[in-house]
Amino acid sequence: MKNSIYTYLIFGATGRTGRHFVSTALHEGHKVIALVRNPDKVETKSTNLKLIKGSIIDYPGIDELMSGVDFVICMLGDAELQKSENVNAIFIEKLIPAMRRKGVKRLLYQAGGFTRPYKQNLTLMFWLLKQTLVRFAGLLGQHRDNEAVIKYLVENAADIEWMVHRAGIAGDGSSKGTLKRSKTKFSIATFADCAKYNYDLVKDHSAIHSCDLSYYVK
């Protein structure tokens, strides 16, 4: 997949990781289509960037967004909405059939490090942190939603080349290094480093149907 120009359809382009992903893809010469609630929040300008105003909650033309798309990237999160509803899972259940209808195969979904993989338990340390720090931060709903997404992908989307990045993100500082995929190792990363990792991961055939963590290579 090297030395080719691709089109990325991004959901979550105005988020803290999404902004960096958009910049990276454009810098590498690719095309980006982004569904955003407020296009004015996107500071990056490029002839290769197409912004479409709308929300994943009620956008009616998902099929039309897929035209010419190579990769679909979901870096979504609304902690307040997710306290009461699995908004991402509801959207993914609409997205996957649209991908099938339009022949788009590859999907990257960014979850969190405290999201449980399908039918697996977190380590004791992760579980304790989830029940304390994550609960205190009001983010349990996000992880519940992420877990519903993963369950749907595993049980209903075997024909789609999906991959889930269970990311650990702490801040928007300068790069701390290069992230690598792992089932057990975990690092707290910057938004920029997670975006670069996602950008590389979605092109990695060996990552298909994975639900892994990421850590900094020393």
Does 2 reside within a domain?
no
SS3 182: strand
Does 34 reside within a domain?
yes
Does 104 reside within a domain?
yes
According to DSSP, the β-strands at 106-112 and 161-167 are parallel
Rounded Cα gap, residues 43 and 58, in angstroms:
24
* pTM for this model (two decimals): 0.92
Does 33 reside within a domain?
yes
Rounded Cα gap, residues 171 and 20, in angstroms:
12
The domain tally of the chain equals 1
Domain of 182 in residue numbering reads as 7-216
Q: Tens-digit pLDDT profile for the chain (218 aa)? A: 456 899 999 999 999 999 999 999 999 999 999 999 999 888 888 999 999 999 999 999 999 999 999 999 999 988 788 888 999 999 999 999 999 999 999 999 999 888 989 888 888 877 787 788 767 767 777 889 999 999 999 999 999 999 999 998 877 888 999 999 999 999 999 999 999 999 999 999 999 999 999 999 98
Does 1 reside within a domain?
no
CATH number for the domain spanning 142: value is: 3.40.50.720
- Rg of the chain (C-alpha set): 16
Residue 3, classified by CB atoms within 10 Å of its CB into exposed (0-12), middle (13-18) or buried (19+), is exposed
Does 200 reside within a domain?
yes
- Of residues 76, 2, 91, the one with CA closest to residue 36: 76
